[in-house]
Amino acid sequence: MQSTQSEIVFGFHAVESVLRNDPVNVLQLMVEKNRHDKRITQLVDYAKSQGISVDYLKKTDLQKQADSHKTQGVVIRYKASAKIEGHSLEDIMQKEDVLLLVLDGVTDPHNLGACLRTADAAGVDAVIVPKDRAAGITSTTRKVACGAAETMPFFQVTNLARTLKQLNENEVWIVGTAGEADISLYDAELTGKLALIMGAEEKGMRRLTRENCDQLIKMPMAGQVESLNVSVATGVCLFEAVRQRSQL
């Protein structure tokens, strides 16, 4: 049985994305009183056309709905059980030249949202994360992702090592990132069926994850810092893969 639990989504881009992509699971749209600009009006009109109730609240009351976060004037109540339909990881991994992003233990919802946004921009087919000790889709994730959380196939798996073995059995080349690797990002081949693994913010990849990689790569660091924020590193690696794939 699916849960009927709902979550709060706030921020204009996140709200608009949910409304456009999954209006049937939107329970309520809340709008700041006295906001009549064109973008808000269009959003309200679209919500009403989908049969979604619209309520107007004072700015302070709207912020309370979003736990005092900046709402940009709009908040929705959304079924937390809603999923992207028509996708399964088993089907996606069969795709020719599939590109997957695996996040091993990324716990910051801001970083997850940024990674989803970058993955969408890079044409990633799906994002995979472990269920335990890792961030999931939250209102903060949705806001940072700017719409990608509603369109990017996102899989939380119980056993990441087992999933990586399944990918390998389906001829997906698994590349992990590690500071001590010998191969530079720019010397690695990132074409074909590929899963790129980014480790946690502080500890990097776990041992079992590392053992299931076909190759470890590193980003050349010219300065004094030893590593980049995981969302920045994800962007660098994904767009190197995009560059290589575009030259085929």
Q: How far apart (Å, rounded) are the C-alpha atoms in residues 234 and 240? A: 10
Query: What integer best gives the mean pLDDT of the chain?
Result: 90
Q: Lowest-pLDDT range, 19-28, 89-98, 179-188?
A: 19-28
How much of the chain exceeds pLDDT 70, in percent?
95
> Quick one: tokens of 211?
């053992």
| CA angle centred on 122, ends 120 and 128, rounded to 5° | 60
pLDDT band at 214 (very low <50, low <70, confident <90, very high): very high
Does the annotation place 228 within a ligand binding site?
yes
pLDDT at residue 80, as a whole number = 60
Q: How far apart are CA 24 and CA 238, in angstroms?
A: 33
Is residue 29 within 8 A of residue 19, CB to CB? The reply is yes
Residue 123 known to bind ligand: no
pLDDT of residue 66: 86
Tell whether the model's pLDDT for residue 1 goes beyond 50: no
Query: What are the distances in angstroms from CA 37 to CA 17, 41, 55?
Result: 18, 6, 16
Tokens describing residue 210: 């590392």
82 band by pLDDT with thresholds 50, 70 and 90: very low
CATH of 89-246, one of 3.40.1280.10, 3.60.21.10, 3.90.1150.10, 3.30.10.20: 3.40.1280.10
Say whether pLDDT at 86 is over 80. Answer: no
Spell out the residues 6+ positions from residue 27 whose beta carbon is closer than 8 angstroms to its own. Answer: 6, 52, 53, 76, 77, 78, 79
Q: Residue 150: its pLDDT value, please?
A: 86
Query: From 3.40.50.300, 3.40.190.170, 3.30.1330.30, 2.60.120.10, which CATH number describes the 6-79 domain?
Result: 3.30.1330.30
pLDDT in tens, 178-198: 988 999 999 999 999 999 999
3-state per-residue secondary structure call for 148-173: HHHHCCEEEECCHHHHHHHHHHCCCE
For CA atoms 189, 195, 199, 200, give the dihedral sign.
positive
Instruction: Please report, for the chain, the start and end positions of each structural domain, with discontinuous segments joined by +.
Output: 6-79, 89-246
Residue 221: exposed, middle, or buried by beta-carbon count in 10 A (0-12, 13-18, 19+)?
Answer: exposed
